[in-house]
A and B are shown apart, each in its own frame.
Chain A
């Protein structure tokens, strides 16, 4: 683990590390004692936050981790300082590892650095931090926006009027998504952005904002969306549009069901369901456990979660509570429309099921399966997102899922 700072700090850290020696558990004694693991959430209250934490809770209760892990959850609220002091309390309580949804990419660095000095393993899921000693597991860099934007341009044949439905203003993820999408749209003079609004990553706000934009611009040809995109489809239906337009978005269940609906397909609805997968937390937890128990050496700090990519014709509704036989959506009576569908992955987290996501309970009979050997993928550097003083690669917004079939 990397240590930074001046000589004094190093000495101090070394002294502290020596004192904390008893609390540091190497791989050798891994199986004999319970690991003290903290789940630190900044806030809770939207489905996304609860679902991600439920997956971690379910995995921690799945054999053999149920005997090896003592998981404590701390929710500290939307205040950066509160989460930083929560980290500090975990460190002094003798945490072996902290898995966390960080509220800020930069504001928690000091506390995280302190944790690393104390040999506490820090994993962040979904959101990232710039502190280099933390492991960040996230889809943010996986190319959601530029790929869906390019798909939209291909579908429109390079020409048309487009709405952009953004997330939460000022959020770094929203900026990343916007820049990614604009990197594509800007290349095509035939693409006209006629409205840009913030759907706040919420289906309800997205529906209202889309309804407003539709009322002012009924001649729209396509909508680029972030999370909450099922609201876009609902707004089109509520506005009485007979001819529906292509929509790209993330993975809410309502959106996937709409894409699979033959009546809506006939009226012109098509799209790509991609975006932020809930399962990133489950993957991060398993990876962290493998590193903690010495089963795997992780040398990469910023780890990329693969981008979900479900075109309209590939949406398949599941018969049961697991992603089996290539299914990727649930019947409408099982989960609300705003439910984020990518809750598990047959390869990364076969132990999980729908009830794990809804209740945080382990799947009966399941045991922890090791992650595939070569699964860890390094994420590119993005300044302010997962690194501090770094430069983004020139091809940060390169296309990975689609090819440009229309040239500008």
Chain B
């Protein structure tokens, strides 16, 4: 039995875990340690790839990896919140596409429209996410069925809305986020800010703590008087908004939209969350972990796709690494390793 289902686990388990042994890295919160390990693995991978080509391990490659991983990162934020309460959001692909299409259509090439356009789009995608939350919490539809259905309906809606050919333009200000300037690429700074903000919301706000409580034991959370339904609806709304934001950013990057643009982000968003140490049954995991997972996934795919090996092998390697990462980062395995280092009886 993994740690989070034991009775008596405090509302914020992250605080009390891994602090027992008190030496070096292990003094750190275990979830944060996971994240740091993933970052380290990414760095090692990048440097290990040196010599494979002139650009491998270069600053340009690192920048490209970070920029490309930013979309997975943003979508993974909402996905992780949902996973934290024991759910899953399969509508993020269509939601991302919707965000992109709306940004293309509503904001267009006007910079002024960004001011109202971005909040408006986030509201729309949050409202749709909230609908999924209502279906799940009030009607009792299983999350993956509800969000799958929502994703399909959204896909149909965007298809009908655009007739297959979205019209509009990409906002130059959005594109500027991804353009190199004298002080680096603006998006990279935003990524750091977004990561810190996400982490703060999860671990330093009442809302975040309630999500962990809900994920650890919904019944206990309900008995303790937490507004379970409202929390669920709000969480799916956040997932909708973050997928919508991912779509808006993607328009800035590619300066265009397609009706399938979100498709390639659904699996990575789940994989990044899980690789990042978030328990798929809910209750534990922190955003820096998901961010590190997103970066590791992108690093891998970047290196593998630049190696010039056949696509079949690339996919096998990609899948194998995700598998190995999941096995190595498994909660009970970590728990076991942690226990071995501790004095018996203390855990």
Q: Which residues does A use to contact B, with CB under 8 Å?
A: 44-47, 49-51, 54, 169, 193-198, 202-205, 207-209, 211-219, 230-231, 234, 238-240, 254, 332-333, 335-339, 357-360
Contact = CB atoms under 8 A, between A and B. Distances in A.
B61 interface: yes
A63 B187 CA distance: 53
Contact of B165 (A219, A240, A358): A358
A46 B164 contact: yes
Contact of B306 (A213, A231, A332, A357): A213
B287 to A, nearest CB: 23
Contact of A47 (B68, B168, B258, B308): B258
B44 interface: no
A216 B50 CA distance: 9
A358 B109 CA distance: 20
B108 to A, nearest CB: 9
Q: Chain B CB within 10 Å — which of A45, A169, A209, A216 has the most?
A: A216
A234 B258 contact: no
Contacts of A209: 305
A196 B307 CA distance: 8
A216 B65 CA distance: 10
A382 to B, nearest CB: 22
Contact of B60 (A49, A215, A336, A338): A215
A215 B159 contact: no
B64 A239 contact: yes
Contact of B256 (A216, A217, A337, A357): A337
A333 B64 contact: no
Contacts of B260: 45-46, 202
B254 A204 contact: yes
Contacts of A357: 165
Interface in B216-259: 250, 253-259
A47 to B, nearest CB: 5
A45 B159 contact: yes
Contact of B163 (A197, A239, A358): A358
A152 to B, nearest CB: 18
Given A45-B259, A202-B260, A205-B264, A212 B167 contact: no
Contacts of A169: 311-312
The list of the 4 closest CB pairs from A to B, nearest first, reads A50-B164, A215-B64, A216-B306, A215-B61
A196 B305 CA distance: 8
B67 interface: yes
A216 B257 CA distance: 26
Given A47-B164, A203-B256, A216 B261 contact: no
A214 B60 CA distance: 9
29 contacts: A45-B155, A45-B260, A47-B165, A49-B164, A54-B163, A193-B308, A195-B308, A196-B308, A202-B258, A204-B254, A204-B258, A204-B261, A209-B305, A215-B64, A215-B302, A216-B53, A217-B53, A219-B54, A230-B256, A238-B178, A238-B179, A239-B60, A254-B256, A333-B169, A335-B165, A336-B168, A336-B256, A338-B257, A358-B167
B180 interface: yes
Given A47-B166, A336-B167, 19 more contacts: A44-B164, A47-B165, A47-B258, A197-B306, A207-B254, A211-B68, A212-B65, A212-B68, A212-B305, A215-B60, A215-B302, A216-B61, A219-B55, A234-B255, A240-B180, A338-B258, A357-B165, A358-B163, A360-B163
Nearest to A53: B164
Contacts of A47: 164-166, 258-259
A277 to B, nearest CB: 16
Contacts of A231: 254
Given A47-B164, A207-B253, A358-B163, A194 B53 contact: yes
Contacts of A336: 104, 165-169, 256-257
Interface string B148-166: 0000000100010001111
Q: Chain A CB within 10 Å — which of B165, B253, B261, B303 has the most?
A: B165
Given A45-B259, A238-B253, A332 B179 contact: no
Contacts of A211: 64, 67-68
B55 to A, nearest CB: 4
Nearest to B180: A240
A86 to B, nearest CB: 18
B204 interface: no
A212 B255 CA distance: 17
B58 interface: yes
A187 to B, nearest CB: 20
Contact of A359 (B58, B60, B163, B302): B163
B63 interface: yes
B55 A203 contact: no
A239 B185 CA distance: 11
Contacts of A358: 163, 165, 167
A125 B297 CA distance: 39
Contacts of B54: 217-219
A21 B49 CA distance: 69
A218 B163 CA distance: 39
B52 interface: yes
B26 interface: no
B166 A216 contact: no
A234 B254 contact: yes
Nearest to B61: A215
Contacts of B258: 46-47, 202-204, 338
B164 A198 contact: no
A71 to B, nearest CB: 16
B256 A215 contact: no
B56 interface: yes
